[in-house]
Structure 1
Amino acid sequence: MRWKLLRRRWSVSAPRVTVRSRMPWPLRWLLLALMMGCSAALALWAFEFGKEITGLDRDAHTELVALREETTRMREEHDRAVSVANTADSLLKAAQTTQESLAARVKSLEAENLALTRDLGFFEKLMPAQDNGKPLALRGLQATLDRPGHLRYQALLMQAVGRSGEFKGRYELTLTGTQEGRPWTQTLNKVGQSIEMKQYQRMEGTIDLPAGAVVKQLEIKVLDVAGKLQASEVARM
């Protein structure tokens, strides 16, 4: 009986035995945390010490300062470039506006010059009329087509040299040419074509032509209040 008990106790079929530590588990976790913290601090110290030995920390700091200075310089250059670009754009717009204004002014001056040239040519013909026995003289008759179907005319009626007094009357316009290939004549005697002057009077106006009419000649006749012819002039086109 004793032998069976001893064999059961020391054989494989012996009862299980649990070995428990006397240190509580919170204390074990705290000890493990302390060990890991010490290991991390040691590793960090080794890393920093290695950077000081190799000089990496000093080079990185120098490069960081240089990069900051380079960034500041590039920002200043960018701001200057933007300012120059804005100024150039403003100057370009001002130059374009000035050029457009000058072009409009040149065009206006050209039109004025052309008008003055025409007036000069007109007034060059307006020398004082000689007394040839007629009290009136027509000078500088001109007839031009401004556009198709629109005729413009102008002339100057003057008293002869040495003549004085007021003249009253009217003038007639006679157009001669062709209309659709056939001979055509038209006489205009409007209320607005009256004359009342002492020395001279400028006669001018526009005429609307009928469709298909081609004017070859314009004649102006000056008549007194009694209908008597006092002066006439013909302009051929």
Structure 2
Amino acid sequence: MFGRSQRSVFKPSVYQPGKRSRRMPRWLVLLLVGIGLGAGGVLFLQTNYGPQRLTIEQSEQLHSELSAANLDRQRLQGQLEEASQQRDSARSTHGKLTTDLAQAQQQITALNKDLQLFEEAIPPDPRGSNIGVRSALLTREPGQLGYQVLIMRDNAKAGAPFKGTVQFAVEGRYPNGRIDTIAPDAIPLDLDRYQHMSGGLKLPDGFVARTVTIKVLDGAQRQQAMRVYYVRG
């Protein structure tokens, strides 16, 4: 009870103002180090694995390419609209052509019927051959002989068109009384069903035509038809 008392040892507090430490706390150091490492990692990933940043020149080039692509799109859109209009116009034209074709076919049918009546009304060639000179009109004209000749083929559906020539033999008289026969150059003939020929045959001065013999010759110069007509006028 009366022994030596133990004295308490004084320990200065870390929060004592006079004894404050100047070192940064460990937790703050770790926090700053973590922030630095995180920022560096993000920068590393963005630089090596992230999307590449464009320079000013690359950005301007990209803008120009985008503008050009937009112009191309507008041009193609215009071409598409024009093609659509042409398609609609073609459909309308096709419908009109179909109608016109039907009308033309009806007219051809009517003309074929009229032609059949026309053929039946014309007197046949007296010789009764397949190809015949069905009619002719011959007139005297100054210095020549005018002609209109109708040559027809009876069975035109039986084969290919007939190819030959038409030959005129003009018999007449000169002013001195001499009688002569003029044979102008033959005229080519391409005959399917019928052929109407017209023109003029040059004659010698003073020659007066009286009669004309019309012959149809084939390619081998064989006679296929012949008629004799008097000259009018």
TM-score (norm 1): 0.42
TM-score (norm 2): 0.43
Which structure features the higher share of helix residues? 1
